[in-house]
Structure 1
Amino acid sequence: MSINYSKWDHIEVSDDEDDTHPNIDTGSLFRWRHQARVERMEQQKKKKEELLQAKQSYQTRKNDMKQKIKEAESKPADMEKLKIELSELELQEKEFLKKEEDLKKEEKLTPWNIDTICHEGMSRTIINKPKPAPKPETDEDKAEKQRTFTNKYKDQIKKYGMMRRYEDSQQYLTDNPHLVCDETCNYLVLWCVDLVIEEKKDLMEHVSHQVIVMQFILELAKSLERDPRSCVAAFFSRIKLGEKQYMDAFNDELTAFRERVETRAQARIDEAVREYEEEERKKRLGPGGLDPVEVLESLPDCLKACFESKDLELLKKTIVELPKEEAERHMKRCIDSGLWVPNAADLESDATTKDANGVEEEVYDEID
């Protein structure tokens, strides 16, 4: 069935300039036309409302008349009168129908304008409830997330860290977008620290370059408030241009990062040395909980010489020459540290003790 477009042929527009005479004030003419159109619409609307009200009033009177006829069935005289009135009302109904038909024809022939050319088909208001704020991640959550990611993608991260050409890195990250995240960067940073500790500085410098590439991609995503995966191409496009200001910022960050890695690696080495020395010290502790090295260093030079020379006779002589309280204090510390073993004569002949350097030597006999 063909569509009838005739209703679009005549549209009344107040500011239609096609038929405006040059001697007529255009602005005033447009206002007059618009005012006349609005007045016609108001009259037509009022006419329609009056017809609707009259029809409703007629319908009410008609219903009342039917009810009276029903109630007056037992009174023939009243019945005739009521039927005559009902007939008159029915004649009025025909008039109302004719008026409605004329009004519809009039509306149909009225040209469309800006107020009647369209109307709102449907409308609704939707109020979005604010999304609850995401629960902040705890340190345990972050650590578990890092472990899971590392276990799953460790080989892929290392492969990216070993790449040299920008084209290869861009293609690899494009093919593996899940690697564009903080977890990849964290793993590469720790790897750089391990490489310094292993004295593989050249490899560390290469991997550190890939770390800064990843950091710049993540920072670009933050500044643009976009997903980091969508910023891979943008970063490599800019880095390949080689703008001096951008490259200087990149190289400065790379140099600072390498210095931080070496500082962190040295801190880990120092910490490991301290832990090792502490473990060794605990192994050396004597029965009284004292370190024989520390006790030996704190002894008077005369007693220290006796232990270092392992001269028992000289030790006996030196103890006798010292004040009694001082001698007892020093010997108690020697016993607590394991430098001196009392009642050594009661031990087996092959019993041994450790000297200040942790080397097993023969036990000195107890001084009488």
Structure 2
Amino acid sequence: MSKPFDYSKWDNIELSDDEEDCHPNIEKESWFRMKHRSRVEREENEEADKKKINQEMRRDQLRIDELTSRIEKMKGGNDGSDDELEDEEGMNAEIKELAKKQEERQAKLDHYEKNKKWNVDNMCTVTDEKTYVNPSASEPSFDASGYALPPTATTTTATTAVKEEKKSTKSTESAPLPTPPTTQKPTAGPSPPPSGTSTSTATAPKPNKPKVGPVSEKETVLSYADFTSQHEDLLEKYCNMTGMEAIKTFLLQNGTIMLQEHASSYLLLSCLEDEMNGQRDKMKITARNSQVLTNIAELAKSLKKHPGNVIIPFFARVGEASHASSFQEGVDIFIERIIKRAVEKRKEMDAEEQEVEEVDLSSLPKEERLGPGGLDPIEVFESLPKALQEAFESREMDQLREALVGMTPEDAKYHMKRCEDSGLWNAA
């Protein structure tokens, strides 16, 4: 039967951050630093003492070898030296004394080794080191606001290139890399040759580098339209989710889409639309879910991490009572802003409609402002009696009736006919 492995060497492990011997009145971090410094100083002193002992042992061992050699030569009688000057007994006594000192020194070294305390610095040794470099590490995965960036063609092409390189290790001829899929519609023009066709001028497609600099408003609108049309079902599903645990699971599964800034913008517009349509309960649910995305982006920005890496920390923080109340307070403030903005938006829409109705006819060419009967409304209005002009300007039916009553039936019929032909009056 083989001898079992001896684990006794691990019985004396020393930890600098052990709290068992820390007095409650002593600050823990200072206590840990003091223990670590004391351990380092003790180990340095022990190593210096071991080094000194080893030097003395080597020196005395050389002396023992020298004396032993002389004694052997004296016994052989062929050393060529004067026997009277050599004291064999004295040399043997010196050898015994040196050997005794060697035993004492070795016992001290054994004591150091037996009572050695293991710690994080001496328990393990590094035998092999490897460094793995991510080819996409230099590419940004989130913007300055903390939102996730959409997958770019560069990342897709780089991943495809790595896979193709692994597949073509046994082949002698490498094929061009496939073009990454895009969401753009195909344009008119000649079709590219099939992937299996080889031409003398065929080259591997170059990856599209992301554009550096600010994005124009037109590009933002177009990208938002593409994003919403592609992920509308997913966005609507998230808008109607009520449980925080379900939201957490949903974001962990679909974080690459939901943590983009376009998703946050979609939820903001959905909140405003629900409030303007009188669906306040639905608006409150969407507002809460919108604030979840906003808070995750803010936390990612403060930690300078990808928002997908702070989903679990965020929900762990919201699970605490103090942070849950502050989060709900932020949601309530956001809901109040949505309600206020909905009122302002209605006023803006009413003002825009009124502005469309009140068009300055004098600014239009005469051909464009002619009424259904071919008459110019400006010329007809200027030819009307003053009472009718004031009635049309006031838009009051009672004032218009009074003006017509004060006229003869022929004149009233004549002027109203001209107003109808010019578009000033709609008989329907």
What TM-score does the superposition give when structure 1 sets the normalisation length?
0.47
TM, length-normalised to structure 2: 0.41
Decide which structure has the larger Cα Rg and report it. Answer: 1
